[in-house]
Structure 1
């Protein structure tokens, strides 16, 4: 999964490879080197979102290098 998408080093959002910046936080620090994948639909009700400090719904990488 990591080969066809990028992850933001700042907020861990998973983005399409043609994007130059993260649509969630605006960072241009994107990497192919990530693992784990979680989709957060309701961050205000999610323990994982709380642990990851995520406040917006979306797709996130669990580990970003």
Structure 2
């Protein structure tokens, strides 16, 4: 059975289920309530990254509640 992945409410990065702090921004505000998934490989060339204000490559949630 797969464990639910968490998302950081501050930077929207998708995290492993066993973390309690976001390694990207240091936030402890994590949630399991999220929707949509995008992998950003080259944020400097991505219109989605610009819209989301993402500057680092990684996995991100599109909607975080």
Q: TM-score range by the shorter chain?
A: over 0.9
Q: Distance in 2 between matches of 1:23 and 1:42?
A: 19
Runs of 4+ in 1 over 4 A off after TM superposition: none
The unaligned stretches of length 5 or more in structure 2 are: none
Residue in 2 that maps onto 1:22: 22
Larger Rg: 2
- What is the total number of aligned residue pairs between the two structures? 63
Q: Within 5 A, what are the aligned runs for 1:34-53?
A: 34-53=34-53
Give the TM-score normalised by structure 2: 0.94
The unaligned stretches of length 5 or more in structure 1 are: none
RMSD: 0.9
Residue-by-residue CA offset, 1:4-42 (whole Å, 9 max, x unaligned): 200000000000110011111110000000000000000
Give the TM-score normalised by structure 1: 0.94
